[in-house]
Amino acid sequence: MPTKETYSNHRTNPHRGLNPAQMEAVLASVGPLLVLAGAGTGKTRVVISRILHLVRQGTPPERILAVTFTNKAAREMVLRIGRKFDPKSKPPKDKNKDFQPKKPEISTIHSLCVRILRRHAERAGYPQRFVIVNRGEQETTARRVLKELKVAEATLRPADLLDRVSRWKSRGVRPNEVFDTLSADADDSWDLAAAGYQRYQRLMQGVGAVDFDDLLLLVDQLFEQHDAIREQEATRFDHILVDEYQDTSGIQERILSALARDHRSLCVVGDDDQSIYAWRGAQISHILDFPTRWPGATVVRLEENYRSTPEIIEAANQLIECNSRRHGKTLVSKVPSGLKPSIVQAQDEVDEARRVTADVQALLMERFAPPNEMAVLVRTGEQTRVFETELRHRNIPYELIGSRSFFDRREVKDVLSFLRLLVDQSDDLALARIANVPPRGLSYNALEKARRKASETGKTLWVTLLELKQSGQLSPAASTGVEKLEQLISLGPANTTRGLTAADALQRALNQAHYRQYLEKEFEDEKEQEARWQSVEEIVNGLARYEKEHGSAEPATTVQRYLDDLILEVTEAERFEEDKPKGNALKLMTLHAAKGLEFDCVWMVGLEENLLPHIRATNEGLSAIDEERRLCYVGVTRARQRLVLSLALTRMKWGKAKPCKPSRFLYELTGQPEKFSEGPATPREKVGAKPRKRQAPK
């Protein structure tokens, strides 16, 4: 039994309100456990309750690891589980020290791998203070690679190279293995990409930099080549819980399995019916084959839905039952009956937008739901334009989810590079960005000279600049620039007077560099100047908040952790094309971005063949269609009370109106899959069946 120092509410029933299936999942014996959690069945509550159950059984909280799919989910779980632990534990004798009660470790797998890699970086061939680069820095490196390989952009663009590199890394393919993976009929661009991958990785490692995918690739490599390291990391935890298991890639699954291999206390929670990230490397086979890969695994099905009306759930069940391979489960709604999903048939995409926005406006006037409880879901981003026009026309407040990241702004990248350089002068990428920002006499030619010298000697760019200055090989202006950089670096948190925070050091460095004056010269408009400076201020404020919450370590270490967390969160936002919804406004977003969210009213638009399912899927076959059906299922199950499905009879393509066919998913949602016989075969239709006359279901 736990002590009152570790667990709050220990005298109350922690399982109060759980249904029998949820209770079974929480109390299941230690060992491999698969919890099949359908949409809206309370999976997060089950994960938290199981963690608390393990603690009540005597497991120290810090010996439990919970892995979530996104930082947003991790934050939510930390917040919810934090309320369950008593902060009034016995404080240390030294009252001057901050006391934090021990809690389970909750993070994304990338955050977990950062911490593992920091502990063993040298064994992986990297400095302990390696840098995690952002997308812009990746593209700069990719552009350099293609230039060195003399590859024309028409043949292979930097973004395309990075996309292929990412796909290889997500599959666990290392640079020395990449040529072995190429098929015999692959075109020349793949050979160029493979050569680019090898050179890209050498350049990155040469400056002590890793990208988002490297975090997993390098840890996977460490575990494979050094079993002692795997054992050391595995023994940190007695129990591992994984959320959204259906979205794990091959390399993610290998890392998690390696950590759980010895104690076998692996609880995975997910829904194969919501696996929609195959294009990003997710493998649905992980959740489908879990009982086979982990013999003796317990399987629990959560089928009671607490989100949507019975009418919406019935449609969702009818749809997903058409998939060719899945774990058998049928959702049952536990909320009162409501409206049946309705279908809107429009003449074209403009008419569709007008009908949908008119419906939105009518519901707002009836006060059926507030704007922030409404969402219009599209299959592709291009569909949003006409809806934006109509929403603005009707003065309906809306938010387009997936806008440009705050961290893509020039001034933000500059300030983060300043911060990186203040704590680590060996960070060549950061130095290269701000060496002459603001201008301080370090010309492009001087920097290129230093880069070449650094490449020849194997020394860092900063050390090389200092040596060139001391030997008189730099111009007077460039030497002055190096001296000014030295003055800035001396303001770093490790070199400042005791009691000065890293945020203070960064602010002093920006002031000494006259960065605000630089922005004022770069942008004439005063509003633009102020907006840019506010972005700078937000970085400083964010660092200050982080130091206040996590600043127990040495300043340089705290800054490094802040940068790690920041880049992981930014990269995640970029990968998932979503921002946290804000304000009382309707949400306009893609189906992928909607995963994990829920709304009172949902309009799913563009339910037409070659749009949903997407044309790529119709050309790729049954498994691709199954994933599109799961994507449609995700959209349907976002709705609590009202679901509207819309389609257009024609759509403009290359300046001409082209006829559209109703999506096969419309027939399946209404229990009429037999009315659609075109496209890849489904379990409900026979290959070669006679085509039937098709019309939108009623």
Active site residues: 43-44, 243-244, 274, 638
Contact in structure between 649 and 348 (CB atoms under 8 Å): yes
DSSP classification of residue 33: E
Tokens of 538: 């937000």
* Residue found by looking up tokens 């920002």 in the block: 437
Q: What is the 3-state secondary structure (H, E, C) of 550-573?
A: HCCCCHHHHHHHHHHHHHHHHHHH
Distance CA 272, CA 269 (A): 10
Alpha helices in 86-213 (DSSP H): 109-120, 135-148, 158-170, 188-206
| One-letter identity of residue 20 | P
DSSP classification of residue 311: H
Burial profile 266-275: b = 16 or more Cβ within 10 angstroms, e = fewer? bbbbbbbbbb
Smallest CA-to-CA distance from 647 within 630, 664, 635 is with 664
Q: What is the 3-state secondary structure (H, E, C) of 371-421?
A: HHHEEEEECCHHHHHHHHHHHHHCCCCEEECCCCCHHHCHHHHHHHHHHHH
Smallest CA-to-CA distance from 297 within 255, 336, 319, 268 is with 268
Helix and strand totals (H; E) in the chain:
28, 18
Contact in structure between 242 and 256 (CB atoms under 8 Å): yes
Helix 109-120 to helix 227-234 angle (10° resolution) is 120
Distance CA 572, CA 489 (A): 30
Half-sphere exposure of 456 (CA within 13 A, CB side): 7
Q: Collapsing DSSP states into helix, strand and coil, what is residue 10?
A: coil
Distance CA 577, CA 571 (A): 10
Q: Collapsing DSSP states into helix, strand and coil, what is residue 197?
A: helix
Distance CA 695, CA 675 (A): 8
Contact in structure between 414 and 431 (CB atoms under 8 Å): no
- Evaluated on CA atoms 154, 155, 158, 164, the torsion sign reads positive
